[in-house]
Structure 1
Amino acid sequence: MRTTEETEGFDGEASNTSMISGASSPYQPTTEPVHALNVLGGLRCDLEYLRSYFGILKAVEVVLSIIGFICIETVMMCSPCGGVYFFEFVSCSASVVTGVLLLIFCLNIHTKVPHINWNLTDLGNTAISTLFFFLSSLVLACINQETDAEIAAVVFGFLVSGVFGLNTFLAVRRYRRGNGSQGAAQANDYIRARTASRGEMEARSEIA
């Protein structure tokens, strides 16, 4: 039988061993903070996108939409006010949505959510913004009191409509080019599969 001193010594050695193994264990509480730092570190500004046509157009669209919104917000009196309210809603919505998309593409957030067709999303936003900005600018041009703020809002509205229209044209070309390359890739995969299956059938017939 072990004596009390031997038992206490054994317990002390076991506790020291457990402390050493716990200190060298890979499952440390620092795993979660490191993961958070990796997630934050993955967000980086894509300067190449900002220098591209789409990045420049989006930045111009956001700036012009905000300027148009500021101009329409300085209108103090209106009669009727339907055109003013319509332009106010369109300019505010377009600046917010386009600004969010600009941040998503600049920070490469779209690469972390691949199940969303971002090219189609961008195309839909630019097409809708083009249509509604043109309509709201046309309505405001027809129904206004010819104040400086309203005239400036109309000018910036038609200007940003043209920028959104150019962006829509480029987005349509990009979307068609992307679908064409995807269709060609699928066709090549189908041809490879058929060729492989035929080769396998011929090999089996020769063996037989």
Structure 2
Amino acid sequence: MRTTEDAEGFDGEASNTSMISGASSPYQPTTEPVLSRNVLGGISCFVVTGVLLLIFCLNLHTKVPHVNWSLTDLVNTAASTFFFFLSSLVLACINHNTGAEIAAVIFGFLVTGVYGVNSFLAVRRWRRGNGCQGAAQTSEYMRARTASRGEMEARPELA
């Protein structure tokens, strides 16, 4: 016949009744649960920048002339600079001095610097008006120049 101690478990194993009743058991969790983190902010900057890079590399921006691509690039890089700087600053302030957090702060400020330089270049490009509108003006200039050459050849007295 078994005693109540034997009914709890035998051979050093915990029984189901001790787990359900909430009694102290050697199978208690030893780590704290990890809270889910929202990584959408950093990934969205990466995706938007990647899409714009693809559009510019494949010259797709010339196919859509009614979008001011210089301003679009300027807004993307300026917003990314601001958000990366803000998130790096917050992480630097609440840093727990772990290796991963220190690396994240360093790379965050490096990315902020790169986006900052790109923002500066985007402002210069936007002020010059070197967007898709500039490409349209260049093609009109070339068409007018070609037409004027044809007129000059048709009138030999001007040559």
Q: Same fold (TM over 0.5)?
A: yes
Match among 52, 62, 66 for residue 111 of structure 1: 62
User: How far is the alpha carbon of 1:78 from its aligned partner?
Assistant: 9.9
Unaligned runs of at least 5 residues, structure 1: 1-76, 186-208
Q: Which runs of 4+ in 1 moved over 4 A?
A: none
Aligned residues: 102
Name the counterpart of 1:101: 52
Give the superposition deviation at 1:90.
3.1
Judge conservation of contact 1:122–1:171 (CA < 8 Å) in 2: yes
- 5 Å matches for 1:1-208? 85=38, 88-178=39-129
Distance change in 2, residues 1:78/1:109 (3 Å) = farther
Name the CA shift for 1:178/1:100 in 2 (closer, same or farther; >3 Å). same
Structure 2, unaligned stretches of length 5 or more? 1-31, 138-159
Which residue matches 1:45? none
Instruction: State how far apart, in whole Å, the 2-side matches of 1:158 and 1:89 are.
Output: 19
**d(CA) in 1 for partners of 2:47 and 2:99?**
25
- After superposition, the C-alpha distances for 1:102-156 in whole angstroms (9 at most, x for unaligned) are 0000111111111110000000000000000000000011113222111111111
- Equivalent residue of 1:113, what SS? coil
* Separation in structure 2 between the aligned mates of residue 121 and residue 161 of structure 1, nearest angstrom: 18
